């Protein structure tokens, strides 16, 4: 644990705690569950874990609605459990990153409860984004902003007797997640203090929720929603609630706090911004260490888009001297094994090809310079669960869309660890807070462990090679020319060793020059062969939708 620059090329595993491992059998994953599986994560070869929120919360948005930032949800454990997790992780050389949610609190947070008990002009009101409604009786919201979770972005404040006041509060997400006012010095001081509270306990860093949304444009102007979808995601240019220059001032303050510690603590921002150029601003030397690069995640299975995203990201990060990060799945998007699957005219997904593509793109991504995030279960090749029973769904997107948007529950189904009946080793009982598909018995850790060609063994091997190689992680990237839908580059380290990484996006075999490498370190499918023919001499044949790492 000596290297202070560990985050520059780390592999970080995202734990969604309620769905990772359940130690007490209530069907909800918990902190002791994570601790009990640290050996698994160590064997997988990850450098750090990022744990989604486990604070006290009414769980209207899976814990991203926090009631007390210094308490652990009793369903998930205690502060002592967190201390033990940190100690055990560090013992195994695994860093621990927590998730901070500064854009909004839960409406059950003491601060918002104070709002409900007090009057306009009170200190409590100034901590949130509260404005008078429009129209004669103030019955219309202060502006036209929408919630990311469907519907309006404002709700009317009620007085203690339940009658409507003339005022509205902003919530870019669920109505139980009121936005904080980051112009208020008390809000700023409180969050610096929360950072210190957890840094003092030994955590190594924070992932920052909605980092691009904390400051809103002065005067809260209406937004032109012509292009609604991207605006909601946060990648629309000029949205008055996203990517405002004022957020950078906050991160400069936070960086000073992180740098008070030895070793310095690190930040990774959740930043949905319109371009890699806007993204790089968050990584200026006195701000965040890294930020999620969603431009790459949304490029999907498109060679030109992928290549452009890689080029733009690397170029913009170089200007600020920061390493890029790469991610293909998380708790907010459909798992990439399903997302990448071709869909036929009847709307059916070819999940076999989906997994094949996912393995290929993952291997290719692991060879890019910088750090990489893995979302729990992707190492098992888990697909998205689209057909959860309606009554099981919990995502606010489902409720706020009048049951038209299935939302994100399908990527949050508890992990299968072992056995042939529910909860497939998730916990000691058959309970899991979301039902697991029967086919998941075959995808469990136990079923894949030691099995040649399984997705789990494939991830382990790829991460082992990545760690051992000086050319991957750090090091240069140089594209190689090739016709057709093939992406290929050389990574070279300072000591001169090199690896060529190839992604064949075609649905056919491609032939590559043998000079690219005579040894395959690892491939995402069995479909590769070094061949010699009379006519064309020696070449390497790479099967459809397959990636490979080559060396001489």
| CB nearer to ligand GLC: pick between 9 and 65 | 65
Spell out a b/e string for 320-330, using b for 16 or more CB atoms within 10 Å of the CB, else e. Answer: eebbbbbbbbb
Residue 209: CB minimum distance to ligand GLC, A? 5
Specify the pairing of strand 164-170 against strand 154-158.
antiparallel
Residue 166: CB minimum distance to ligand GLC, A? 28
CB-based closest residue to ligand GLC:
64
| CB nearer to ligand GLC: pick between 336 and 356 | 336
**Which positions touch ligand GLC (CB under 6 A)?**
61, 64, 101, 173, 209-210, 270, 331-332
| CB nearer to ligand GLC: pick between 213 and 475 | 213
Residue 357: CB minimum distance to ligand GLC, A? 24
Provide CB contacts within 8 A for 201, sequence distance 6+: 79, 82, 83, 86
Separation between Cα atoms, residue 101 and residue 481, nearest integer Å: 44
Query: Which among 209, 235, 332, 379 is annotated as catalytic?
Result: 209
| CB nearer to ligand GLC: pick between 208 and 488 | 208
| CB nearer to ligand GLC: pick between 75 and 349 | 75
Helix (H) or strand (E) segment spanning residue 460: helix 455-468
Give, in degrees to the nearest 5, the angle at Cα 550 between 548 and 552. Answer: 165
Separation between Cα atoms, residue 190 and residue 185, nearest integer Å: 9
SS3 520: strand
Q: What are phi and psi of 458, to 5 degrees?
A: -65, -45
Q: Which of 402, 377, 373, 375 is nearest to 390 (CA)?
A: 402
Helix (H) or strand (E) segment spanning residue 4: none
**Are 478 and 490 contacting, i.e. CB atoms less than 8 angstroms apart?**
yes
SS3 128: strand
**Are 412 and 434 contacting, i.e. CB atoms less than 8 angstroms apart?**
yes
Residue 25: CB minimum distance to ligand GLC, A? 26
| CB nearer to ligand GLC: pick between 331 and 357 | 331
Residue 396: CB minimum distance to ligand GLC, A? 7
Residue 292: CB minimum distance to ligand GLC, A? 9
State the alpha helices, DSSP H only, in 379-451: 396-400, 445-448
Would you call 209 a catalytic residue per the annotation?
yes
Would you call 260 a catalytic residue per the annotation?
yes
Separation between Cα atoms, residue 204 and residue 198, nearest integer Å: 9
Give, in degrees to the nearest 5, the angle at Cα 367 between 456 and 537. Answer: 100
Separation between Cα atoms, residue 412 and residue 60, nearest integer Å: 15
| CB nearer to ligand GLC: pick between 210 and 380 | 210
**Is the torsion defined by CA of 500, 283, 7, 318 positive or negative?**
positive
Residue 187: CB minimum distance to ligand GLC, A? 16
Residue 549: CB minimum distance to ligand GLC, A? 31
| CB nearer to ligand GLC: pick between 330 and 501 | 330
Q: Hey, what are 213's tokens?
A: 């949304």
**Are 244 and 215 contacting, i.e. CB atoms less than 8 angstroms apart?**
yes
| CB nearer to ligand GLC: pick between 374 and 523 | 374
Query: Which among 260, 302, 350, 515 is annotated as catalytic?
Result: 260
Q: Which of 355, 373, 371 is nearest to 524 (CA)?
A: 355
State the alpha helices, DSSP H only, in 211-350: 228-233, 247-259, 276-280, 294-297, 303-320, 336-339
SS3 162: coil
Residue 127: CB minimum distance to ligand GLC, A? 17
| CB nearer to ligand GLC: pick between 16 and 417 | 16
SS3 378: helix
**Are 245 and 214 contacting, i.e. CB atoms less than 8 angstroms apart?**
no
Residue 100: CB minimum distance to ligand GLC, A? 11
Separation between Cα atoms, residue 433 and residue 268, nearest integer Å: 29
Q: How far is CA 415 from CA 3, 36, 354, 459, in A?
A: 32, 14, 19, 16
Report the catalytic residues: 209, 260
């Amino acid at each position: 644990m000596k290297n202070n620059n560990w985050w520059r090329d780390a592999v970080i595993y995202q734990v969604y705690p309620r769905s990772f491992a359940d130690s007490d059998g209530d069907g909800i994953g918990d902190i002791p569950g994570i601790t009990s599986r640290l050996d698994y994560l160590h064997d997988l070869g990850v450098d750090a874990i990022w744990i989604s929120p486990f604070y006290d919360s009414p769980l209207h948005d899976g814990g991203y609605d926090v009631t007390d930032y210094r308490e652990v949800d009793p369903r998930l454990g205690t502060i002592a459990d967190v201390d033990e997790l940190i100690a055990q992780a560090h013992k195994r050389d695994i860093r621990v990153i927590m998730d901070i949610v500064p854009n909004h609190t839960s409406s059950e947070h003491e601060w918002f409860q104070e709002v409900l008990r007090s009057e306009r002009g009170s200190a409590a009101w100034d901590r949130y984004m509260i404005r008078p409604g429009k129209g004669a009786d103030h019955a219309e919201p202060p502006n036209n902003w929408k919630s990311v979770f469907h519907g309006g972005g404002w709700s009317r404040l009620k007085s203690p007797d339940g009658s409507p006041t003339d005022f509205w509060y902003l919530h870019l997400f669920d109505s139980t997640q009121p936005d904080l006012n980051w112009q208020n010095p008390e809000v700023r001081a409180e969050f610096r203090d929360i950072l210190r509270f957890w840094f003092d306990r030994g955590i190594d860093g924070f992932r920052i929720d909605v980092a691009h949304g904390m400051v809103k444009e002065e005067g809260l102007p209406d937004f032109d929603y012509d292009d609604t979808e991207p605006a909601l995601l946060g990648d629309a240019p000029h949205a008055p609630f996203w990517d405002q220059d004022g957020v950078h001032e906050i991160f400069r303050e936070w960086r000073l706090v992180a740098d008070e510690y030895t070793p310095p603590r690190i930040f990774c921002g959740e930043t949905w911004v319109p371009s890699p150029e806007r993204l790089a601003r968050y990584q200026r030397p006195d701000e965040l260490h890294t930020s999620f690069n969603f431009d790459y995640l949304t490029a999907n299975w498109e060679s030109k888009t992928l290549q452009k995203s890689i080029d733009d990201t690397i170029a913009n990060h170089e200007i600020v001297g920061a390493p890029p990060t790469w991610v293909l799945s998380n708790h907010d998007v459909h798992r990439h094994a399903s997302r990448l699957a071709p869909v036929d005219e009847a709307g059916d997904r070819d999940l076999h090809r989906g997994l094949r593509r996912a393995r290929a793109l993952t291997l290719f991504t692991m060879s890019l310079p910088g750090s990489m995030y893995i979302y729990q279960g992707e190492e098992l090749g888990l697909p998205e669960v689209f057909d959860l029973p309606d009554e099981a769904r919990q995502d606010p997107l489902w409720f706020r869309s009048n049951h038209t948007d299935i939302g994100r529950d399908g990527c949050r189904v508890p992990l299968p660890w072992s056995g042939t009946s529910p909860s497939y080793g998730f916990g000691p009982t058959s309970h899991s807070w979301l039902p697991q598909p029967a086919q998941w018995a075959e995808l469990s850790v136990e079923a894949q462990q030691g099995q040649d060609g399984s997705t789990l063994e494939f991830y382990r091997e790829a991460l082992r090679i990545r760690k051992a190689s000086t050319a991957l992680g750090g090091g240069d990237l140089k594209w190689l020319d090739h016709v057709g839908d093939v992406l290929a580059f050389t990574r070279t380290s300072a000591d001169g060793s090199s690896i060529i990484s190839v992604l064949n996006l075609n649905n056919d075999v491609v032939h590559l020059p043998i000079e690219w490498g005579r040894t395959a370190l690892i491939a995402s499918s069995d479909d590769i062969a070094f061949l010699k023919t009379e006519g064309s001499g020696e070449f390497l044949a790479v099967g459809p939708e397959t990636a490979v790492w080559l060396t001489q």
